[in-house]
Structure 1
Amino acid sequence: METVSIIKADSYREDLTEKITKLLAPLGGLGAFCKPGARVFLKPNLLMPKTPESAVLTHPALIMALVRLLSDQGCKVAIGDSPGMGSAENVIRKLGIFEELTRRGVEIVEFEKGVSWKRFTKAPAFERRFNNLELAGELLEYDQVINLPKLKSHGQMGITLATKNLFGCVVGHAKGRWHFIVGRDTHAFARILVEIALTVNAGLHILDGIVGMDGNGPSSGRPRELGFLMASANPVALDRMVVELIGKSPDQFPIFAAARELGVAGVEPDRIILEGGAVTEFQISDFEIPGRVELDRFANRLFSNLYQRLIRQRLVINHQACINCRKCEAHCPAKAIRIRKRVRIRESKCIKCCCCQEFCPVGAITLQDVWTAKLLRKITMGLS
């Protein structure tokens, strides 16, 4: 059985050190994961320079509460990520905690050194599909990795939680390459996300669900007051319980099919113990995720042209909101975006990785159904 812990937390102004302590108690406490003197790496969501109120990033109050607890335990703490825009330091400065981290001796690490997965000797054995996977070598210098994801909707994967947050352990320049290689197939992309999570083998995952994001996530959605923190040693189990809370079917999220394919525990809710309360106590209504109509991989290949024209979703530009900053063009791994007077996405080249939507600073790009996809979804819902 896998254990997931949950606790009510309505505000970042609460004593989050106390909240984290109570949250981790059913898991054995922080000491079960980090011994005194251990070198601990914190991996929050540092997607891009945004304010805490945007709900795009792991909240600085949660980060600092954990830093204080680890420091009190005598741990040597570092923090970092591979942001899609800017550096980890720039994002941390925007969050307003750079000075306090520096004062406490917390090192801010930029992921720059990609190394083979074979160097990650603590990873469990499993059947790998992506043997040329490289991850941030800086992680190898630490005894423990603590993953600090933010609960958000996501254009490509539906939702981004603990498993998806570890994609940030891929060094920046390689992210676009992986998006290009597997981005057209969400099942394949989910598979690489699970392989990354298994390889990094973070010992603890603490989800920031005090204020999350739904709608046009992960950077331009609607901040939602959700009111909880969640933790587990198993990222898939944590993700699975969040899906229970938001009342969605796991079939909407390819991450679980990939985890099941790899034999990862935590996919089935009846094999998960939720400590801290029942699902009904934390239920989230009307959580909006980008709708997806997924054909299986065989149908996708066999009816590729039909799928592209009639069923597959489109990334749509709001030209009135667009500021012509060209960030979408810069972040498109498929080179499907061209800008003359206006932004244009070439459907024949677009792989639906949603990088343009993710990094648009003004939320001018959204993932939308074509009418046939809407019809198919209604038919599917009627049959279920």
Structure 2
Amino acid sequence: MENKKSRVVIMGCESYDNELVYEKLKAAIDLLGGIDQFVSPQERILIKPNLLRGKKAEAAVTTHPAVFEAMIRLLQEGTYNRLSYGDSPGFGAPASAAKESGLAAVASKYEIPLKEFSHGQQIDFFLGIGTKKYDIAQGVLESDAIISLAKMKTHGLTRITGAVKNQFGCVYGLNKGMSHAHYPDVRSFSKMLVDLNRYLSPKVRLFVMDGIVAMEGNGPASGKPVPMKVLLVSDDPVALDATFARMINLDPSFLPTLTYGEEMELGYWTAENIELLGEPLEKFYQPDFDVVRLPVGEGEPSTLSALKVVQDLVIQRPVVDKEKCIGCGVCQESCPVEKKAIRIVERKRRKYPLYFYNRCIRCYCCQEMCPVGAISIKTPLLGKLTIYKNKENLPAK
């Protein structure tokens, strides 16, 4: 990889007022040379938001409609008219997720079609290091250029979800869930994400992270909305995510999506290789942001005793709050392992999930997909007393 600094723009934005977001996003992209540096009018441009599931915009689960609209306006004013949008939600149909989140109304206003993200084709990526095959959505395959609109959130498996992970939505339908079964530990999963970005890199030209209101805590779908009042923009997803990590006092070296991202020549995470433009990072620094400040992968099965019973007593695991649980069965449906690690049982006329932790691969799909936030990731008592002791608030670098 050419030894050239990656540029990340930090642009403050106080609210989701449509005009304010448009002005701030335009100013941020202008600092990188303008939108013409990344796409051309003859290209079929796909705008790829984060549409994890159908949720109202104020829940901070999805890319906010104001950010989506600002990007459309910038492109259409530049005579970019071959536009479309789409994403593959973790649960539910793309059209329903777009409608619930408010993106469909914006797209209709500007006559932007929703592309096909429920079906696609398997492709070969011979340069892949972690994997060489992907099931890519038809809407992605039919595009020439992609602009990725990520959401600033925490994530149970990868600590954060941002620019790198946003491309996971280019894998269509249930194939995303099956990826967790094929790559059952966080390191192999992270390599798969980096390879996916490497495959898509000729198309994905620009990354925007919506951090005006972010999500902390039990992300990426059941956490707490928290104002960060910032937009991050870059053409390097690794550098962008590393900047987000530093902003919340999380050491970027803890995140395999970033360390593998630099190692596999997707981008840079080290501070000396990143040039920050716009406003100073310190202005948006939130050291108390609720995120696990523990190296990703520490305490996973490969680093512990070979005895599975010991592993299950110490490593983090999904736990259900029976008072919140509505017994819908989404957790069981989203579990990617062949012999389900979750079974819905009925006790005293109430349904709730029963976990078989000896089968659980700790992908946390159940926690991610729970529609009512009844599942969270907890550390067993023995784990708190051993590998996780005093490590959850390590300072960032």
**Partners of 1:364 and 1:154 in 2: how far apart?**
15
Change (3 A) 1:383 1:274: closer
Of Structure 1 and Structure 2, the greater helix share is in: 1
Give deviations 1:112-154, integer Å, cap 9, x for gaps: 3433444x8xxxx845231222222321322210000000011
Q: 1:206 to 1:195 in 2, by over 3 A?
A: same
| Letter in structure 1 aligned against 2:114 | I
Per-residue Cα deviation, 1:40-94 (whole angstroms, up to 9, x for no partner): 1011000111001100000001101111111122221101000112222212211
How many Å apart are 1:27 and its aligned residue? 1.2
> SS at the partner of 2:133?
coil
Residues of 2 paired with 1:300 and 1:69: CA distance?
48
In structure 2, the residue matched to 1:362 is: 372
**Stretch of structure 1 that moved more, 203-212 or 293-302:** 293-302
95-104 or 278-287, which deviates more: 95-104
Q: Structure 1: which 4+ aligned runs deviate by more than 6 Å?
A: 381-384
- 1:201-241 C-alpha deviation (Å, 9 max, x unpaired): 11100000000000000111000000100111010110011
Say if 1:151 and 1:160, in contact at 8 Å, map to a contact too.
Answer: yes
What corresponds to 2:334 in structure 1? 331
Shift of 1:324: 0.6
**Residue number in structure 2 paired with 1:248:** 250
Task: Report the CA distance shift for 1:60/1:298 in structure 2 as closer, same or farther (over 3 A).
Answer: closer
Equivalent residue in structure 2 for 1:289, among 284, 288, 291 = 291
> Is 1:189 aligned to residue 189 of structure 2?
yes
User: Does residue 1:105 correspond to 2:111, yes or no?
Assistant: yes
Cα distance in 2 between the residues matched to 1:327 and 1:116: 26
Aligned to 1:257: 259
Would the alpha carbon gap of residues 28 and 111 (structure 1) be closer, same or farther in structure 2, given more than 3 Å must change?
A: same
- Give, in whole Å, the separation in 1 of the partners of 2:299 and 2:105: 49
Q: Which stretch of structure 1 is more off in the superposition, 145-154 or 17-26?
A: 17-26
1:130: which partner in 2?
Answer: 131
Shift of 1:100: 3.9
In 2 relative to 1, CA 73–129 (structure 1 residues): closer, same or farther, beyond 3 Å?
same
Q: Which residue of 1 aligns with 2:7?
A: 3
Question: Which residue identity lines up with residue 187 of structure 2 in the other structure?
Answer: H
Aligned residues with identical type, % of pairs: 35
* Residues 1:314 and 2:317 are matched in the alignment: yes
Which amino acid in the other structure matches residue 327 of structure 1?
Answer: V
Query: Which deviates the most, 9-18 or 52-61?
Result: 9-18
In structure 2, the CA distance between the partners of 1:344 and 1:304, relative to structure 1 (3 Å rule), is same
> Do the aligned partners of 2:292 and 2:393 also contact (CA within 8 Å) in 1?
no
C-alpha contact 2:119 2:173 (8 A) present in aligned 1: no
TM-score (norm 1): 0.92
Deviations 1:291-349 (A, max 9, x none): 65634889437635265233211211100110111111111112111111131011011
> Counterpart amino acid of 1:333?
P
Kindly tell me: are residues 347 and 91 of structure 1, through their superposed partners in 2, closer, same or farther at Cα, counting changes over 3 Å? same
Hey, what does 2:268 align to over in structure 1? 266
Q: Is the 8 A contact 2:252 2:258 kept in 1?
A: yes
1:169 counterpart = 2:174: no
Is structure 2 residue 48 aligned with structure 1 residue 28?
no
Could you say which residue in structure 2 is the equivalent of 1:143? 144
Gaps of 5+ in 2: 347-351
Letter in 2 for 1:349: R
Q: Tell me the distance in 2 between the aligned counterparts of 1:117 and 1:128.
A: 15
Q: Distance in 2 between matches of 1:235 and 1:333?
A: 27
Moved more, 37-46 or 88-97: 88-97
Deviations 1:178-218 (A, max 9, x none): 111113x1011111011111111111000000000000001
For 2:117 and 2:265, the matched residues in 1 are separated by: 29
User: Match of 1:318, as an amino acid?
Assistant: D
Give the letter aligned to residue 43 of structure 1: K
1:97–1:151 Cα change, 3 Å: closer
Aligned-partner Cα distance in 2 for 1:331–1:383: 32
The answer for the alignment partner of 1:203 in structure 2 is 205
Aligned residues: 378
SS in 2 for 1:133: strand
Q: CA RMSD in A?
A: 2.2
What amino acid is the match of 1:377?
Answer: Y
Contact 1:37 / 1:73 at 8 angstroms: preserved in 2? no
Query: Residues 309 and 96 (structure 1 numbering): CA distance in 2 closer, same or farther, change over 3 Å?
Result: closer
Asked if structure 1 preserves the Cα contact closer than 8 Å seen for 2:50 and 2:149, the reply is yes
Cα-to-partner distance string for 1:9-53 (whole Å, 9 max, x where unaligned): 010015222111100112111111122343210110001110011
Do structure 1's residue 115 and structure 2's residue 121 form an aligned pair?
yes
1:62 to 67, 70, 80: 67
- Unaligned 5+ runs, structure 1: none
CA distance in 1, matches of 2:28, 2:251: 26
Match of 1:52 in 2: 57
Q: Which letter does structure 2 place at the counterpart of 1:198? A: R
For residues 303 and 325 of structure 1, do their structure 2 counterparts lie closer, same or farther at Cα, with a shift above 3 Å needed? same
Q: Match of 2:227, SS?
A: strand
